[in-house]
């Protein structure tokens, strides 16, 4: 009996064992193939990064080698610098450095990229490089040379010792310390060196991107939690029996605020207030929104009524977005017929009945001025129109105050119209006629731009 059983089980077991070996071999082969592809990708990205940093250093040197009046060569060099820093940033993003502190180097490259781009597109004949910019270029030339030298040192060690980037990824992902990893140590050295560089003044066009908004404009004295509670009850139109709970956030910091939660009515309302002056910066209700039954235009009208009722006068809707059964509308202030885009409020409404479910007013709170000084445009409307593309079919025009790429407020002529089958807003500087900004108008904004 046992002989008969073994005669049956032995071949079955052998077949199963053979199948397991084949399956394991295939799995291991596929795994190794994936690891090899990943390693090759990491190696290529790292060597490309080292190459582009070396070329970046060379381009900065070329730019300093020519005369200050050589606007054509300056423009060419700056374009190359912008391209190389963009390539370097892309290659850094392809390396397994997410758990490694390398932010200072990335920010350094980002600032060079923006500075070179803004310089390359400006008219260097009328706005040549300043003494301060030349000084910055000399510092960048020196710094990029040091970074390039450090990366070349890491690259030589990688090649000589046949180091693998997959080991870097494993070291960063594990909880074990990885102080002895040559590649990790090399990148830490680069980032530490960059963090020690003195801060360069790249000008407002670059600084405006990295500077965090300050709330120090709010010079009003701090308010108490009790006062915020009273304001919250009043704004929420809370009836008898409603309760409010106020919590302070970020105490003793620049971003200190209060959160007020009003309950006891048909829906819970949450609001955020500034500590200084007790100004409302956000509002949200817990109302469940049903199926859409009203149009975006109808909802925008109700949102405008809501803002007027709550004390936000002279607000004009300028853009709209729809998300399922919700509508989001951007309103800006209007003074003397000029739209003030920095003073912005975003309102969220349910499209079941058009009622407001929340809004965000931090931009309005930080930028609002009761009597903003507005200059008169140097160009007439007819002169500004001549700057437009001859194929642009104008549908409306109005004056608008916007922030340009340098973070400065400029008065513009806003033209809305169609070209190439799409609708656009074009903002022309009211003094020079130069294009300050261009944006496409989405279909959901139909009817808003001429209000």
Of 121, 98, 224, the closest CA to residue 171 belongs to: 98
Domain extents in the chain: 14-210, 225-367, 381-445
**CB–CB of 403/441 below 8 Å?**
no
Is this model's pTM higher than 0.85 or not?
A: no
Q: pLDDT tens digit string along 181-207?
A: 677 777 777 777 777 777 666 665 555
* Ranges of residues in the chain whose predicted pLDDT is under 50: 177-179, 210, 212-216, 446
Contacts of 311-319 spanning 24+ positions with Cβ under 8 A: 312/345, 312/361, 312/364, 315/345, 316/451, 317/448, 317/451, 318/448, 318/449, 319/442, 319/445, 319/448
Q: What's residue 339's pLDDT?
A: 96
Q: What's residue 238's pLDDT?
A: 82
CA atoms of 162 and 168, how far apart (whole Å): 13
Burial of 227 (0-12, 13-18, 19+ CB in 10 A): middle
The structure tokens 């507005």 sit at 374
Q: Which fold has domain 381-445?
A: Nuclear Transport Factor 2; Chain: A, (3.10.450)
Q: What's residue 400's pLDDT?
A: 96
Q: pLDDT tens digit string along 348-385?
A: 999 999 999 999 998 899 888 887 889 999 999 999 99
Q: What's residue 206's pLDDT?
A: 59
**CB–CB of 381/397 below 8 Å?**
yes
Q: What's residue 214's pLDDT?
A: 46
Average pLDDT across the chain, whole number: 82
Across 416-438, b (16+ Cβ under 10 Å) vs e yields: bbeeeeebbbbbbbbeebeebbe
Q: What's residue 262's pLDDT?
A: 92
């Amino acid at each position: 009996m046992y002989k008969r059983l073994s005669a049956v089980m032995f071949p079955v077991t052998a077949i199963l064992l053979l199948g397991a070996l084949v399956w394991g071999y295939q799995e291991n082969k596929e795994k190794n193939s994936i690891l090899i592809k990943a390693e090759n990708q990491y190696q290529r990205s790292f060597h490309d990064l080292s190459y582009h940093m070396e070329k970046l250093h060379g381009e900065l040197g070329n730019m300093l080698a020519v005369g200050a009046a050589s606007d054509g060569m300056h423009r060419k060099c700056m374009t190359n610098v912008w391209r190389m820093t963009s390539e370097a940033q892309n290659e850094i993003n392809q390396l397994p450095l997410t758990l490694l502190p390398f932010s200072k180097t990335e920010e350094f490259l980002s600032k060079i990229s923006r500075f070179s781009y803004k310089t390359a597109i400006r008219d260097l004949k009328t706005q040549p490089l300043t003494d301060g910019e030349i000084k910055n270029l000399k510092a960048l030339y020196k710094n990029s040379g040091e970074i390039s030298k450090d990366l070349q040192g890491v690259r030589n060690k990688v090649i000589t010792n046949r180091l693998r980037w997959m080991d870097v990824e494993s070291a960063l992902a594990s909880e074990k310390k990885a102080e002895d990893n040559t590649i990790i140590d090399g990148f830490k050295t680069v980032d530490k060196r960059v963090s020690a560089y003195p801060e360069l003044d790249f000008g407002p066009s670059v600084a405006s991107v990295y500077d965090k908004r300050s709330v120090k404009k709010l010079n009003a004295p701090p308010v108490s939690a009790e006062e915020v509670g009273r304001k919250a009850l009043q704004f929420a139109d809370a009836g008898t029996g409603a309760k409010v709970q106020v919590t302070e956030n970020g105490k003793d910091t620049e971003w200190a605020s209060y959160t007020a939660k009003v309950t006891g009515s048909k829906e819970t309302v949450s609001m955020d207030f500034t500590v200084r002056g007790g100004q409302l910066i956000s509002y949200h209700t817990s109302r469940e929104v049903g199926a859409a039954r009203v149009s975006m235009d109808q909802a925008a009208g109700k949102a405008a009524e809501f803002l007027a009722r709550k004390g936000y006068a002279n607000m004009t809707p300028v853009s709209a977005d729809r998300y399922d059964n919700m509508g989001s509308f951007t309103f800006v202030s209007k003074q003397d017929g000029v739209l003030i885009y920095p003073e912005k409020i975003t309102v969220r409404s349910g499209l079941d009945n058009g009622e407001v479910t929340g809004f965000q007013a931090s931009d309005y709170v930080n930028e609002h001025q009761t009597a903003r000084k507005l200059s008169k445009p140097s160009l007439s409307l007819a002169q500004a129109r001549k700057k437009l593309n001859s194929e642009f079919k104008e549908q409306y025009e109005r004056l608008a105050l916007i922030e340009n790429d340098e973070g400065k407020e400029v008065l513009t002529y806003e033209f809305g119209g169609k070209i190439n089958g799409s609708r656009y807003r074009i903002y022309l500087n009211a003094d020079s006629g130069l294009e300050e900004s261009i944006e496409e108008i989405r279909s959901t904004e139909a009817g808003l731009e001429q209000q």
